[in-house]
Amino acid sequence: MKRIWGYISGILAMFFFGISSPINKIMLYEMDPLVIAAFTYLIAGMFLFAIRLSPLKERILNFINHDSHSEIFISKKDYIIILLTAIFSSVIGPIAFLYGLRQTTAIDASLLLNTEVLFIIFMSFIIFKDILKRKDVFGIFLIVLGAIVLATKGEFDELFVNQNFIGSLLIIGASFSWSVDTVLSKFLSNKRDLILISALKSSIGGLLLFLIILFTGIEIIVPSVLLFTAIFSVALAFIVLYFALREIGSSRVGAIFPLASLFGSFSAFLILGESFSILEIIFGSLMLLGVYILYWDPKVKRNKKIKPYL
């Protein structure tokens, strides 16, 4: 049952992440990316702290930590990890993503976010000495191929002054930043108070971005739709993602990452009216296939005794 709830939480997190792309694209028509990022994470942090101070806190934490060996104590080392994850997930990642989204389509941005899985695999290979199999190399090739074609649109002349290409590079940069956050977040997923951890990550990032806004003097406009992305695509998404990491492990959470791309692409089609080109359909599908190959383990089907948790 725990494993089922883990998958449900992971899918829910991917849905919240995915639908944020077209909504952010709409806000970019009137707002500066820094303002969107700053107030998204500030509002998310305030919302989470409000929950933590409310009677709902214990109910939520008891549900999240039901029948699990969570840690109550948060050490100095944990706070350092929280600070690092806040910088990567709530400062660098959203800035790169929103500036990139402003220069490309929401569909392309959603598909290019699949490169996050690629970075997670490479970090696991370098840091944790994971072994790459032949199928992994093929999966990596498909993701890289898809990313190159989607980023360039097959047009290599005047590549570095092409607005879409620069935007795609920023999206890939955001994917790298969020992959660092995903890897580091695994070390925090066994803590009991996931609400506090998520609130701190959001608030630290939001405050740092807000200080940048004050320093640069950017005009501040906060539309009501920003509340949706702040509460659902950041605040609640952080909590359910931590829960999923704990229940099914980082590899299985990584395996459902492509769902965020699918949710983002189709919501961009429905909300923004963006159309899928032949290139996007073919090479976006190749990227999704590459992600599936990376996480596909034939042993799981043959051996039912393999542990469900990492």
Task: Give the model confidence (pLDDT) of 209-248 as tens digits.
Answer: 999 999 998 888 888 889 999 999 988 888 888 788 777 7
Q: Give the closest residue to 19 by CA, choosing from 106, 146, 108, 147.
A: 106
204 vs 86: CA distance, rounded Å: 6
- Does residue 192 have a pLDDT over 80? yes
- Does residue 173 have a pLDDT over 70? yes
Say which residue, 155 or 149, is predicted with more confidence: 149
**pLDDT at position 152:** 74
With bands split at pLDDT 50, 70 and 90, how would you rate the model's confidence at 188? confident
**pLDDT at position 202:** 93
Average pLDDT, the chain: 83
- Does residue 122 have a pLDDT over 70? yes
Q: Give the closest residue to 295 by CA, choosing from 53, 97, 130, 90.
A: 130
88 vs 97: CA distance, rounded Å: 12
**pLDDT at position 130:** 61
Mean of pLDDT values over 110-133? 78
**pLDDT at position 243:** 81
Q: Give tens-digit pLDDT for 6-57.
A: 888 888 988 998 899 999 999 999 899 999 999 999 999 999 999 999 988 8
With bands split at pLDDT 50, 70 and 90, how would you rate the model's confidence at 161? low
**pLDDT at position 299:** 60
Cα 55 to Cα 37, 60, 74, 117, 234: the distances in Å are 29, 9, 22, 37, 21
DSSP assignment letter at 10? H
| Percent of the chain whose pLDDT exceeds 90 | 34
With bands split at pLDDT 50, 70 and 90, how would you rate the model's confidence at 200? very high
**pLDDT at position 39:** 95
Buried b (16+ CB within 10 A) or exposed e, 91-112: bbbbbbbbbbbbbbbbbbbbbb
